[in-house]
Amino acid sequence: MLTQNLGYPRIGSHRELKKICENYWADKTGYKNVLQVGKNIRQENWQLQKEVEVDVIPSNDFSFYDQVLDHSLTFGAIPKRYNEVILRKGN
């Protein structure tokens, strides 16, 4: 029988994602550091699931903050009047 799950907590074992996002919003760290923390969390999550022999590990389920907002951006569902806000920091 194959084992799988529908998602995995994305905040990190020590709440790293929350901390790095708060530091980024306070201009205490850069965008590259945020990306690196996200990468580390994803790698740790995948490794932990592999170690407990989850057969079908979910992917492409990571969000730095808001999954609904991420999907809205992906599908172009954000009104054009907000483009300036979205692009202001080059995100």
Q: Looking at this protein, which amino acid is placed at residue 82?
A: Y
In this prediction the pTM is: 0.78
For residue 56, what are the β-bridge partners? 4
60 vs 14: which has the higher pLDDT = 14
pLDDT at 84: 74
pLDDT category, 86, cuts 50, 70, 90? low
Mean pLDDT over 13-18 rounds to: 94
Mean pLDDT over 22-33 rounds to: 95
**Is the dihedral angle over the CA atoms 21, 13, 33, 50 positive or is it negative?**
negative
Contact 41, 10 (CB under 8 A): yes
Whether residue 91 has pLDDT greater than 60: no
Whether residue 7 has pLDDT greater than 90: no
Mean pLDDT over 40-54 rounds to: 95
Nearest-5° angle of CA 31, CA 49, CA 23?
A: 20
Q: What is the DSSP letter of 6?
A: S
Whether residue 71 has pLDDT greater than 80: yes
* Alpha-carbon gap, residue 80 to 57, rounded angstroms: 36
